[in-house]
Structure 1
Amino acid sequence: MGRLIDLISDREIQILVLLSFTLQLFLFFAGRLRRGNSNGFLRLCLWGAYLGADIAAVYALGYLSRRQDVTIDTNLLTGTQPLAFFWAPFFLIHLGGQDTITAFAMEDNNLWLRHLLNLVTQVVLALYVFWKSIGKHSANLLLAGSFVFVTGIIKYAERTWSLKCGSLRSLESSDSDRYTRKLPQELSRDAGFVRDALYHMTYVVDVLSERAMLRLVEDRHLFNKEDDKDLLVRMVSLQLGMIHDDLYTKSFVLRTRSGVILRCISHAAVIVAFALFLANGKERYSKADIAITYSLFLGCLFLEVSSMVVSMMSPWTWAWFKVQNCDALASFSWFVFRSDTGYPKMKQRWPNLIGQYNISSWVFDRDQQRRKYSQRIMIMFKKLFSGLFRVKKEKLFWMSKLVDTEYMDLDNMILKRVVEEITLLLCDFDIIDEPKGWQKIGIMLTGTHKICYANFGLSIVFMHLVTQMHLETYASFKSDIEAVGLMKVCGKLSKYMMYLLVTQPSMLPLSVSAAATLDMVQQPGKVTESCEDIKLETSKETLEELARMWTRLLIYSAGKSRGHASQLSGGGELITFAWLLMAHYGIGENHNKRIHLFRNDDANAADIRNVYAFCLPSGEMESGTHNRSEWDDIPGF
């Protein structure tokens, strides 16, 4: 152990520089994977690498500044000089981060001034390390290090600039015209939808920064009811991907004239530095230090080339080449854009996964559907703590949130349903929807239409429990492909709304905190009893109405939700897709068309056109109001 500690101490700076470089490689390739991916393990690894990369580089610069033996002194045994001083500017390059990830979350962008202070501090520290070595090494080597310094300072400045452009304050004060570009005309179907997505990006930025208050949709030439649904899904997904890149990568900075000039200078500087290092004599330095320096140069050049390929994936790059009549470069950009590493086969979904949470097994203590060992262990611990230590059930709910939360593939069927329901609601702005279409589930809607406003979260739990219990009655429909598809849609949307309530409550229009609502549900009472009293007819018509109900609840929530810019860093949410699609139609709280749950909503502001997700016969609504004895004892009802 003593020898191991001595070895680590002797090679500490070499280990640090290799660790820093390895983390940069991981961030470059894994940073792009989080686009549209909500995998928790990937986010944990990215978070650790994002923080660890900065810590390793800063610590290494501090180590170099206070250790003369690794920067100046000659090794008496081997007669070689250390080359570690030459690595100081490489740490600046590493602190500049990678093009595929500049910020892990929106909070990093908002703290861009802290990164600016770090930029000044670390540059001064690196210059101090370099200054101590002047006169100890050849002029060629010092000149090569100076060029590496140029690259390091530019890289770090690019990152700070990107963080500033992605901050909320910058987004709110930005001019959306910065997205206005000259775009190509007369394109094919695939290229045409990409051009349309780019054309409407100015409006997307206005919506994201909440500057589209009551804006007339007709003046913006946005979507209409007759548009191709598949193209709408692909277009909104593409726009969400571009917004993610502008907020959390260097994409926006590298589209500016200044950004392109700085990147060209950076490329040229590192190439000149590598050439000077090759021409310099290296007999005075250890082979290990020389090998590490070569690795840093080759790795830097590799990442520079890879960054150029990533920039070619951007639809903005393709459009610019197309307008400039650079057909060869435009074709290459289009090829990379459509490749598996870019936008696979132009069918990208945003997000690729959808969060799922089923609270029924926790509430009803149903163990027979448990499939994972972790869930069985959770049940055992719950019984142990509640029985032996008398811990209340709601105090152990965090275990269920951790174990029962899952992520499943988001199929196109759900996305198309969202588009179809939005277009149907768009028609209802012109034609008042009569009380029809809810014949099978009217009893459930009638029982909840009043309490939705008192406690929207509790109504989601109630309808989720009823839906899950009802889906268990369809054992005989497994051979019916259409019914199975409807069951999947109902189950996924029901669990997704519960997932939002449990893990992302800020995305929902809640009048009572999610924590209070979930505590209330877990207490023995009339919530579960009322759910078991609701009996729905087992038929495909019922499934169709349930699917429409959950889709409309999602759309209603999306129209009132906020904070979507922050959610894009975690792979995005289905509710964000619905929110942006509705914004293109001019529907939402910041637009002149708004969706309410029931017709008895008091929302008659001037110049505001309202539509209702659920239109029930007046007799049923009145009966739902009078027959509330089963809800009277439940807080919030």
Structure 2
Amino acid sequence: MRVLKECGDCVCAVPTCPPTTQHSSVEHVQQLWKEWEIQLLVLASFSLQVMLLFSAAFRKRHSSRVLSALLWLSYLSADSIAVFVLGRLAAHTSDPQHQLVLFWAPFLLLHLGGQDTITAFSMEDCMLWKRHLLNFTIQVALAIYIVRKQWHGGSQLVAPMVLMFISGTIKYAERIRALRRAGSRSSSFNAGGRHLASGLSRYYDGLLSIISEKKEENFEHVMDVTCGGFFMKFDFLMDVNPPFSGIDLQDLRIAIAERIHRFDDGASDLVYKIVEIQLSLVHDYLYTKFGRVTGVLHRLITLVLTSTALVLFLEARVDHQLQGLVNYSRADVTISYILLVGAVTMEISSTFMWSLLSYWPYMPIAYWRTFDYDKIFHCVPKGLHPGSRMEWSGKMKQYNMLDGCIQEIQAGRLERMMGSIGIKRDYTTHVVISPEVKKVLLVKLLEIKTNAPGGGGLSSSSFRGQWSQWWAALQTKDYLGAGQQSESAAQRALQLSNIQGLAFVSSVYLWHMVTDICLVADKTASASEFRSFSQALSNYMMYLVAKRNVMLDSCAYHVLHKSRHSLLCTRPAIVADRSAFLQKVYDGVYHGSRALDQAREVSLELLRPEGAAYRWELIATVWVDMLCYIARNCGAEFHAKHLITGGEFVSHIKIVLVVLGFSFHEYEEVELA
């Protein structure tokens, strides 16, 4: 018992465990965060600006979703962090050791001004330029309030602080101006009719001279002509004014038609390069600060101001003119140097990126010419061969309705559950646009431009397949003779497809299925360039309609939904063998929807033996007809939106039509048959 009692006493004598250190650790972290919160957030704001400067330029050349998501997060976080830090500085207590943090207020204005490579993440940001203007007023006033009320530091810091404040205000105001310019969707090409006609004449004279006279090796001359027609292309792309609206350019069109015959294989690349450069200029005009010819002056001003501020800060530090500098936190001094050196470095980098990555230095400005502007700025880009640099992704998205239905049927349970909550898999692929595709398209457009009545004028009021009907009639004359009255298989196929009366989206789906059926049922194993061209454009047009909702109203949506449902109902057949399913449709074994039956009838007509010589060229002509119609009518928002996601081929086609001199009429219709 005594032993037990002693043991019990020993047990009772054991001291209790000390309080856990977890609570003190949390308090320590909180104390550190409270002390260094502003410093860390300022460095985060600076890091985001560096990322935006060097990564935003890639988005017009790449369609990566990861890059787009990172840029979106960085773009939104950069403004939010800068505004938050300004608010924290307004409530900053007068701590002598951390007085230098108030010196950073102008740098936050500089960060809110954004980088030259990205002023807007999307067109929606441009439309909200008034909101940004209000924020600009509030943040500038807040920065003045912060410095005026709480600054008790050395007087020698006032000069660099004022210089950085001016630089930050200029950068921020320049961003607002760029947003307003892009949001207004207007350009400076607002000349009267007479001056507009003369400007167009000069543009086309220069354009046709570099194409027909083999001047593509003179890159500076190509750039002068290309940039000279920028605002006309911008107005047309943004649906401001058609380039030929209200202007009699009949003589000019005749000259274009005559001289355009001088095109050869090398001219195809030049035409697409001209369009590529002009769309790159549009991207810079809408989404960056590069799209202002006076922007270089602003960069020089801010560079001088920030460099001077850095020198003054260095002199004050080296000469020990800052009273009580030793009381400042060494970390705050280091961060101040990082911000100053970083600001100067980013201004220099922006200037080099403007001269090397943008085509705006080539914009023909008269008063710059007088100062040998060409010799100063053209020498560097010329050495880097900017003409060989891709300014967009060069890819074309592909979506096949039948393949999409098969993948949807074969989807797993997890994928279906995610689809039920709105997270759907994108059943699309992409192909690199080959030179052959570009050449076939350009050859077809030139054929229509030079041979069709009225120069192939387009009406945007409705789709009637005018070019396809004209081409089919032309083939009838060639194969049957001019005096024959009977119809060719091409004309009968167009009549069976009801290309004149069928709604546009319905025509796209019909010819999409016709193309798939002919690809399987055509046993000639032809390696025709029109065959691969038709397949690529068929899937691209279906992608635009079904995945990007281009030209998709409520009726068209019902058509696509019904067509997709009819394919899904054939679950066993299409999953077992896709080619066998299409062959059964062609053979008449399987009867599905009315659209599939109609596609079979058109395919039967096209696959007649007498149509072997031109069946794929007719299908290619139909797709060219549809592609040009959708390019003209899909809307400015679509073209502008996809300039920052690698670009869309249909946007390039819209500008190609202007380069080749096609006319567009809202209500007038030109009969081509």
2:519 aligned with 1:471, yes or no? yes
Shift of 1:156: 0.2
Q: Counterpart of 1:297 in 2: which secondary structure?
A: helix
> 1:576: which partner in 2?
651
What does residue range 245-284 of structure 1 map to in structure 2 within 5 Å?
Answer: 245-253=284-292, 255-256=293-294, 259-281=295-317, 282-284=325-327
Q: Counterpart of 1:250 in 2: which secondary structure?
A: coil
8 A contact 1:96–1:155 mirrored in 2 = yes
> 1:95: which partner in 2?
112
Cα-to-partner distance string for 1:338-396 (whole Å, 9 max, x where unaligned) = 45xxx3x4363655222221221234x3x5xxxxxxx79835457779xxxxxxxxx86
What does residue range 358-507 of structure 1 map to in structure 2 within 5 Å?
Answer: 358-363=400-405, 365=406, 378-381=411-414, 402-426=425-449, 427-430=451-454, 435-437=473-475, 444-450=493-499, 453-472=501-520, 477=525, 482-483=527-528, 486-506=530-550
2:557 aligned with 1:515, yes or no? yes
Q: How many residues align?
A: 555
What does residue range 295-310 of structure 1 map to in structure 2 within 5 Å?
Answer: 295-310=338-353
> 2:247: which partner in 1?
215
Shift of 1:453: 4.4
> 2:462: which partner in 1?
none
Going from structure 1 to structure 2, the CA distance change for 1:531 and 1:11 (only over 3 Å counts) comes to farther
2:618 aligned with 1:587, yes or no? no
Could you tell me the TM-score, scaled by structure 1's length?
A: 0.77
Structure 1 regions of 5+ residues with no counterpart? 75-79, 368-374, 386-394, 592-602, 616-637
8 A contact 2:541–2:627 mirrored in 1 = yes
Shift of 1:117: 0.9
Find 2:158's aligned residue among 118, 142, 145: 142
After the TM superposition, which of the residue ranges 165-174 and 291-300 deviates more from structure 2? 165-174
Structure 1 residue identity aligned to 2:396: I
Going from structure 1 to structure 2, the CA distance change for 1:382 and 1:325 (only over 3 Å counts) comes to closer
Shift of 1:610: 4.2
Structure 2 residue identity aligned to 1:120: T
Going from structure 1 to structure 2, the CA distance change for 1:195 and 1:326 (only over 3 Å counts) comes to closer
2:275 aligned with 1:200, yes or no? no
> 1:24: which partner in 2?
49
Going from structure 1 to structure 2, the CA distance change for 1:511 and 1:328 (only over 3 Å counts) comes to closer
8 A contact 1:21–1:94 mirrored in 2 = yes
> 1:114: which partner in 2?
131
Structure 1 residue identity aligned to 2:279: L
Shift of 1:553: 1.5
> 1:49: which partner in 2?
74
Going from structure 1 to structure 2, the CA distance change for 1:411 and 1:15 (only over 3 Å counts) comes to farther
Structure 2 regions of 5+ residues with no counterpart? 1-24, 318-324, 456-469, 477-487, 567-591
Structure 2 residue identity aligned to 1:280: A
In the alignment, the residues of structure 1 paired with residue 434 and residue 656 of structure 2 have an alpha-carbon distance, to the nearest angstrom, of 17
In the alignment, the residues of structure 2 paired with residue 396 and residue 541 of structure 1 have an alpha-carbon distance, to the nearest angstrom, of 45
8 A contact 1:351–1:410 mirrored in 2 = no
Cα-to-partner distance string for 1:155-180 (whole Å, 9 max, x where unaligned) = 001101111111235449956999x8
After the TM superposition, which of the residue ranges 575-584 and 322-331 deviates more from structure 2? 322-331
Structure 2 residue identity aligned to 1:243: V
2:146 aligned with 1:129, yes or no? yes
8 A contact 1:560–1:589 mirrored in 2 = no
Shift of 1:99: 0.9
8 A contact 1:86–1:145 mirrored in 2 = yes
Going from structure 1 to structure 2, the CA distance change for 1:12 and 1:549 (only over 3 Å counts) comes to same
In the alignment, the residues of structure 2 paired with residue 511 and residue 120 of structure 1 have an alpha-carbon distance, to the nearest angstrom, of 42
In the alignment, the residues of structure 1 paired with residue 625 and residue 646 of structure 2 have an alpha-carbon distance, to the nearest angstrom, of 23
> 2:485: which partner in 1?
none
8 A contact 2:440–2:530 mirrored in 1 = no
In the alignment, the residues of structure 1 paired with residue 89 and residue 496 of structure 2 have an alpha-carbon distance, to the nearest angstrom, of 70
Alpha-carbon RMSD across the aligned residues, in angstroms, is: 3.7
> 2:175: which partner in 1?
159
Identity of paired residues, percent? 27
Shift of 1:126: 1.2
Higher helix share: 2
Q: Counterpart of 2:431 in 1: which secondary structure?
A: strand
Going from structure 1 to structure 2, the CA distance change for 1:515 and 1:311 (only over 3 Å counts) comes to same
Going from structure 1 to structure 2, the CA distance change for 1:133 and 1:396 (only over 3 Å counts) comes to closer
In the alignment, the residues of structure 2 paired with residue 501 and residue 473 of structure 1 have an alpha-carbon distance, to the nearest angstrom, of 25
Could you tell me the TM-score, scaled by structure 2's length?
A: 0.73
Find 2:32's aligned residue among 1, 4, 7: 7
Going from structure 1 to structure 2, the CA distance change for 1:379 and 1:288 (only over 3 Å counts) comes to same
Shift of 1:474: 7.1
Give the greater-gyration-radius structure (CA): 2
In the alignment, the residues of structure 1 paired with residue 517 and residue 221 of structure 2 have an alpha-carbon distance, to the nearest angstrom, of 46
Cα-to-partner distance string for 1:524-572 (whole Å, 9 max, x where unaligned) = 3513455456445496854443333322220122233321344434333
> 2:629: which partner in 1?
556
Q: Counterpart of 2:662 in 1: which secondary structure?
A: coil
In the alignment, the residues of structure 2 paired with residue 193 and residue 205 of structure 1 have an alpha-carbon distance, to the nearest angstrom, of 18
Structure 1 residue identity aligned to 2:172: Y
Going from structure 1 to structure 2, the CA distance change for 1:486 and 1:202 (only over 3 Å counts) comes to same
Structure 2 residue identity aligned to 1:130: V
Q: Counterpart of 1:102 in 2: which secondary structure?
A: coil
After the TM superposition, which of the residue ranges 5-14 and 305-314 deviates more from structure 2? 5-14
Cα-to-partner distance string for 1:28-49 (whole Å, 9 max, x where unaligned) = 1222112243333322222222
Shift of 1:229: 2.9
